[in-house]
Amino acid sequence: GGYAKEMSKEYQAKQAALTAEHIAKQDIVITTALIPGRPAPKLVSAQMVASMKPGSVLVDLAVERGGNVEGAVPGKVVTTANGVKIVGHLNVPGRVAASASLLYAKNLFAFLETMVDKGSKQIAINRDDELVKATMLTDAGKVVHPNFAKAAETPSEQAAPAKAEKPAKTEKPAAAKKPAAPKKAAPPKKSSQGDA
């Protein structure tokens, strides 16, 4: 399970053909595709961008990881020769923090709500649910997520090296204390009014 996986070449070709057909008709396109641990897949080619109407806008939210749109530049808004704007803003959630937080909270609530029985208001996790399978790491004390299960089978701690015995502690003779040095008297202050 997971959000996005790399698809086969055949699937990608079909997707590109369908995408090209739709993009040519759109005024705005927002791309967000990311694959964990890999660069963002290129979904919109330069040819697709060239097919769009002047004044159309492409917003590439994956630009920080290579981008989904050919021609997107991280941190820049690029205007193509045919008048299409490609927006490559960095840290978009930070630019709209209040909205991003609200959206995240709403999505998190919807996710958690699927794990509660509406009638009894008790936790009721459906372990066959696709979303639960993709996000559940442990269950009943065992690692159940396939991406982590293999790591859980291998001991995570190396055998501790044998400890060398410490030599018996020997008492050191107490160091003789030196007497404190007497403080020197401060020199007498000179009078600014002369001798009296």
φ/ψ region of 140 (left if φ > 0, alpha if ψ in -120 to 50, else beta) reads left
Domain ranges of the chain: 9-94, 96-152
User: What is the spatial distance between Cα 136 and Cα 147, in angstroms, rounded to a whole number?
Assistant: 11
pLDDT at position 173 is: 59
Sheet of strand 77-79: strand arrangement = 28-31, 57-60, 85-87, 77-79
Under CATH, which architecture does the 9-94 domain have? 3-Layer(aba) Sandwich (3.40)
pLDDT at position 12 is: 80
User: What is the spatial distance between Cα 69 and Cα 29, in angstroms, rounded to a whole number?
Assistant: 10
pLDDT at position 188 is: 61
pLDDT at position 1 is: 37
Phi, psi of 121 (to 5 degrees): 60, 25
pLDDT at position 182 is: 60
Distances (CA, A) of 93 to 46, 96, 160: 26, 5, 45
pLDDT at position 167 is: 59
pLDDT at position 105 is: 97
pLDDT at position 186 is: 61
Structure pTM?
Answer: 0.56
pLDDT at position 8 is: 83
Per-residue pLDDT 10s for the chain (196 aa) are 345 566 788 888 888 888 899 999 999 999 999 988 899 999 999 999 999 999 999 999 999 999 999 999 999 999 999 999 999 999 998 999 999 999 999 999 999 999 999 999 999 999 999 989 889 999 999 999 988 888 887 665 444 555 656 656 666 656 656 666 666 666 666 655 555 4
